[in-house]
A = this chain, B = another copy of it.
């Protein structure tokens, strides 16, 4: 059975490596190109990459020659782990050439015609791509910021059940969120830093779009009406963003009804059998001191958000703690899950020499064959 040929843009960086690790062992996708800056181009991936994951580099990746990031024929999907400063133009070039770009970069996230998607929450926003100007099925879809994803996964059921009025979130974020080399050791040893450049802005804006409502004609997202106030910190943790969240709700809620809202929350991915979808997107841990990054970031193979310590907040109403793995669910894993959703939604373009899957996906009947 044929897998979908994909390229990984920014393959040598921290998120790129996670993509390589996931995609070389993926049932639907086949990495045919590892792309990075021209400086690395031509060299084997194994030589141009300082591999930073505990799991070994896939052998097939190690020997693949790195290519530049300009579009070329072959891949139907381009996974983008590019730095924001170069991502914008390169991603557009791939979309213009008729490919699906699934991006982890921030540059297109807030564009009115670009869906910003957490597959379980707002799969319907993918319809925005119909408004994009790219030919041949080309499109750009985006994955939210690493600190946003876990938060909106926890907020969506609350918004559905009780109506969100206001959210206060204070983060304790892992160093891997800054990429590699990222944060110097001398900045975080015996320390915590109450600032991450641009992070609070993203964390205050992205939930509004993700939890917004697609207009009836599918042309735009009407932003959610609650406000988010964020204070972001870097702490001495490798992986796993911990967030202290307080919420003000429109309608009355008690502890039991909030827990039930989380437990019973349906997901837009239910029944789709996406390979990267965790069995339970939300896991509530009923212990006094959880979730904790070192012990809980691996929940659902790093794709579940874990919750704990739900209790009344004298200021806003309710508060709780939230954890999600920032380079799996929050970056590479989330991006792959989004691509899987695009496959079953028929967004993989027929151009680019890859005709079959795009047609059949909407009916989901090809899935058994794929898996």
**Number of A residues whose C-beta is below 8 Å from B?**
58
Q: Which residue of B lies closest to A315 (CB)?
A: B229
Residues of B within 8 A of A70 (CB): none
Which of A83-91, A147-155, A165-173 interfaces with chain B? Answer: A165-173
Query: When the two chains form their complex, are residues A184 and B182 in contact, meaning their CB atoms are under 8 A apart?
Result: yes
A52's nearest neighbour on chain B, judged by CB, is B186
- Majority SS at the chain A contact face: mixed
Contact of A186 among B167, B182, B189 (CB under 8 A): B182
A276: interface (CB < 8 Å) = no
- 10 inter-chain pairs at a CB distance below 8 angstroms, sorted by A residue, are A54-B298, A182-B184, A183-B184, A184-B184, A186-B238, A191-B294, A194-B309, A195-B289, A229-B246, A315-B316
In the bound complex, residues from chain B placing their C-beta under 8 Å from that of A289 are 193-195
Point out the residues of chain B lying under 8 angstroms from A187, CB to CB. Answer: 181, 185
Q: How many copies, total?
A: 4
A sample of 5 more A-B contacts (CB under 8 A), given A185-B187, A194-B291, A231-B309, is: A181-B186, A192-B235, A192-B242, A194-B292, A195-B309
| A211 smallest CB distance to B (angstroms) | 15
Q: Which residues of B contact A228 (CB under 8 A)?
A: 314-315
Are A172 and B314 neighbours in the complex by a CB distance under 8 Å? no
> CB of A293 within 8 A of chain B?
yes
Asked if A175 CB lies within 8 Å of chain B CBs, one says: yes
Given contact pairs A231-B321, A314-B228, A175 touches B194 in the complex (Cβ within 8 A): no
Q: CB < 8 Å: which of B180, B236, B321 contacts A236?
A: B236
Does A370 touch B at the CB level, under 8 Å? no
User: Shortest 8 CB-CB distances between A and B: which pairs?
Assistant: A195-B289, A181-B184, A170-B170, A191-B294, A229-B315, A236-B236, A227-B314, A231-B244
Known interface pairs A172-B172, A189-B238, A309-B195; A166-B244 also in contact (CB < 8 Å): no
- Give A contacts to B, CB under 8 Å: 14, 52-54, 166-168, 170, 172, 175-176, 180-195, 204, 227-229, 231, 233, 235-238, 242, 244, 246, 248, 288-295, 298, 308-309, 313-316, 319, 321
A211 CA / B282 CA spacing, docked (Å): 40
A227 vs B314: C-alpha distance when bound (angstroms): 6
From known contacts A190-B189, A246-B229, A294-B189, infer whether A315 and B166 are also in contact, taking CB-CB under 8 Å: yes
Q: Quick one: closest B residue to A245, CB to CB?
A: B231
CA of A290 to CA of B51, assembled, Å: 12
The reply to whether A192 and B172 form a contact with Cβ atoms under 8 Å apart is yes
Most buried by B among A184, A293, A319: A184
Minimum CB–CB distance for A113 against chain B, Å: 26
- A293 contacts B181, CB within 8 Å? no
Q: Return A148 CB to nearest CB of chain B, in Å.
A: 16
A164, B238: Cα distance in complex, Å: 38
Most buried by B among A186, A189, A244: A186
Contact A235 B235 (CB under 8 A): yes
Q: In the docked arrangement, what's the CA distance between A240 and B316, Å?
A: 27
Question: CA of A313 to CA of B204 in the docked complex: distance in angstroms?
Answer: 11
- Does A233 contact B238, Cβ atoms closer than 8 Å? no
Taking the closest CB of chain B, its distance from the CB of A308, in whole angstroms, is 7
**Docked-complex contact B175 and A292, CB < 8 angstroms:** no
**Known: A195-B288, A242-B194, A289-B195. Is A231-B170 also a contact (CB below 8 A)?**
yes
**Contacting residues, chain B, for A229 (C-beta < 8 A):** 246, 313-316, 319
Taken together as a complex, chains A and B put the C-alpha atoms of A187 and B193 apart, in Å, by 18
Are A321 and B194 within 8 A (Cβ)? yes
User: Of all chain B residues, which has the CB nearest A200?
Assistant: B311
Contact B315 A168 (CB under 8 A): yes
